Amino acid sequence: MTHLSCEQRRGVISTVMASFFLGWAPILGKLAYQGGVTPYTLVAFRTLAAALLLWLAFVLFWRREVVISRGGLIGCIGVGMVNGFGSLLYYTSLSRLDASRASLLSTLYPLWVVLFLFAAGQPLTRLTLMRLALSMLGVYLLIRMGPSEPDWLGVTLMVASAATYGWHLVLGQWVLADVPSRAATLYILTTMSCVVGLAWVLQARPVEPLAAAGWCAILALGLTTALSRLAMFSALQRVGGVETALVGLLELLVSLLLAFLLLGERLTPVQWGGAGLLVVSLMLMVRDPGLCLAEGNIPLEWKRM
């Protein structure tokens, strides 16, 4: 951290905060399912709660930042639509997988971020590729959950969710070239709420009876969603998509620890070895000179648009 500027350190801290809050998603999702919530109801009410909390915060504290350009609004709508669709995939998959396996599969999104940025002309160093390889090897070791056969539909949905999450980080990086991170978060989450709300309405099903535990899990998930998006887009604007994705693997460790403490799920020694590889990848971050942290990893041609 001593090699980074103040702005870069804030970006890394924001990423760690985002990882902590995002790590709660599969745990709170499972607790909501235990309370009788269905996947589409969970996604719709969780995102609505997050959007309402953000609008309340803007009205009370950040009223001047509500104004946004037409181009910036269009960009935020695009990012929100991608992330909203990915949320539907994620929580549908989560209903079919245990929290640990879902968390492991969702961490494939850094691979998609690197592929998307590479296709857009983002240069990559050997150290970046080595860190990515360590991360993927760690995920491979962690995904060896035991003798039970996974639900392959759930696995497929989670891999697709990881791809949409990676794509939304890349799109978000482009939008944040011109839009402040807090304003972007507000309009992206609002769009997400509209997308998943429409999907829930199109099911034409009445709201299922929910236990108090289900509502508590939904509201807690709404709070962590709002906080994680504020921190994530702040980090994305400061350090770029590749760093946000790789440091965000800390989210996996948070999820696994919470799954152990709250859901009683366990890891094998091989899986803990995979977690160790993820930690090594994170520690190598400050030695990577090729990611242009000071420029937020935004290609020059994007800034001219």
Residues 1 and 287: their CA atoms lie apart, in Å, by 10
Contacts of 232 (CB under 8 A, 6+ apart): 14, 15, 18, 22, 244, 248
Q: Is 196's pLDDT higher than 80?
A: yes
3-state SS record for 240-291: CHHHHHHHCCHHHHHHHHHHHHHCCCCCCHHHHHHHHHHHHHHHCHHHCHHH
- At residue 176 the predicted structure's pLDDT band, cuts being 50, 70 and 90, is confident
Backbone angles phi, psi at 270, to 5 degrees: -65, -40
Residue scoring higher pLDDT (288 or 266): 266
Which pLDDT belongs to residue 187?
94
Summarize the confidence of residues 72-101 as an average pLDDT: 90
Summarize the confidence of residues 28-52 as an average pLDDT: 92
Residue scoring higher pLDDT (61 or 117): 61
> Cα 121 to chain center, whole Å?
23
Q: Is 11's pLDDT higher than 60?
A: yes
Which pLDDT belongs to residue 302?
35
Residue scoring higher pLDDT (258 or 122): 258
- At residue 257 the predicted structure's pLDDT band, cuts being 50, 70 and 90, is confident
pLDDT (tens digit per residue) in 97-141? 888 878 877 877 767 766 776 776 666 677 777 877 887 787 777
3-state secondary structure of 105: helix
If one counts every other C-beta atom within 10 angstroms of the C-beta of residue 126, the result is 9
Q: What pTM did the predictor assign? A: 0.80
User: Closest Cα to residue 172, out of 302, 282, 65?
Assistant: 302
Q: Is 85's pLDDT higher than 60?
A: yes
- At residue 151 the predicted structure's pLDDT band, cuts being 50, 70 and 90, is confident
Which pLDDT belongs to residue 152?
81
- At residue 297 the predicted structure's pLDDT band, cuts being 50, 70 and 90, is very low
CA-derived radius of gyration, the chain? 19
User: Closest Cα to residue 223, out of 39, 94, 53?
Assistant: 53
8 A C-beta contact, residue 53 and residue 223: yes
Compute the C-alpha angle 228/245/77, nearest 5°.
Answer: 60
Summarize the confidence of residues 83-101 as an average pLDDT: 90
The length of the chain in residues reads 305
DSSP 7-60: HHHHHHHHHHHHHHHHTTHHHHHHHHHHTT--HHHHHHHHHHHHHHHHHHHHHH
- At residue 14 the predicted structure's pLDDT band, cuts being 50, 70 and 90, is confident
The CA-based diameter of the chain, rounded to the nearest angstrom, is 55
- At residue 209 the predicted structure's pLDDT band, cuts being 50, 70 and 90, is confident
- At residue 290 the predicted structure's pLDDT band, cuts being 50, 70 and 90, is very low
Residues 32 and 216: their CA atoms lie apart, in Å, by 8
Which pLDDT belongs to residue 32?
92
Backbone angles phi, psi at 83, to 5 degrees: -70, -35
